[in-house]
Amino acid sequence: MGLKVICYNEVSIDGSVIGFDFHSELFYQIVGEIGAQALLVGSATAVTGIEMFMGEIPPEKESDFIRPEVKADDKRLLWVLIDSQGVLLEKLQVFRRFEYCKDVIVFVSEKTPQKYLDYLSSRNYRNHIIGTDKVDLKRAVEILENEYSVHTISVDSGGILGGALMNAGLVDEIGIIISPHIVGKTGNNLFRNWEKPPVNVKFKLEKIDRIEDNYVRLLYKVEKQ
């Protein structure tokens, strides 16, 4: 069985990924059901999540400098962060402590500031330098499959990372949880930086169901013609 990349997002009725109360418990429950081993998150989405759910960054503790011991039967997700600009400097302890996170892996590029690379090293975060200016997403996916035995990746993106993955032809499925909210003109849509694909792409509806009374889940298969 080959690697599968699934973009899963909760969106408002009008397609925004921000500006409403995110149902985190429901989201992670559904992500857990798809059997993913890794959650791929862009740095902007990661920062937004911290601001939304925590407000202030907790100070580091001695334990934050130690990579957690991962047991073979641990079913939690690897959190994989794309951060070529080092915007998560002094923030990664949030994810290392997160109850749904098994371990943190960071992908950076050759343009990533040395200060951030030193930060990752001193705190024993697994990291890979791939790509000249931006992270080479195709190579990142290959590393997750070959070095971390990942065969299903769930993507949590505010729109930028998801669009970049679509541009690279790496997305196999798109899952959408429709939340009963309307955001209006302040919203941000999914895949807003997706360019016209070099090949014809169609989306086949694989699943639709109602969950928790007012929420609807859709699952589309990406078919490249």
Whichever domain contains 42, its CATH number is 3.40.430.10
Q: What integer pLDDT is reported at residue 17 of this predicted model?
A: 84
pLDDT in tens, the chain (225 residues): 579 999 988 899 988 888 888 887 888 788 778 889 999 999 988 887 787 777 788 889 999 999 988 888 888 899 999 999 999 999 999 999 988 889 999 999 999 999 999 999 999 999 999 999 999 999 999 999 999 999 999 998 877 888 889 888 899 999 999 999 999 988 778 887 777 665 678 899 999 999 888 999 999 999 876
Kindly give the pairing relationship between strand 152-156 and strand 38-42. parallel
CA pair distance 81, 42, nearest whole angstrom: 6
Report the predicted TM-score, pTM, of the whole model to 2 decimal places. 0.88
CA distance 155 to 158: 10
- The pLDDT, as a whole number, for residue 197 is 65
Please count the structural domains in the chain: 1
Question: Would you state the pLDDT for residue 196?
Answer: 66
CA distance linking residue 171 with residue 162, whole number of Å = 8
d(CA 27, CA 175) in angstroms, rounded, equals 11
The range of the structural domain enclosing residue 49 comes to 4-224
Beta bridge partners of 222: 203
Q: Shortest CA distance to 197 belongs to which of 161, 170, 159?
A: 170
Buried-state track 20-36, b at ≥16 Cβ within 10 A, e below 16: bebbeebbbebbeeeeb
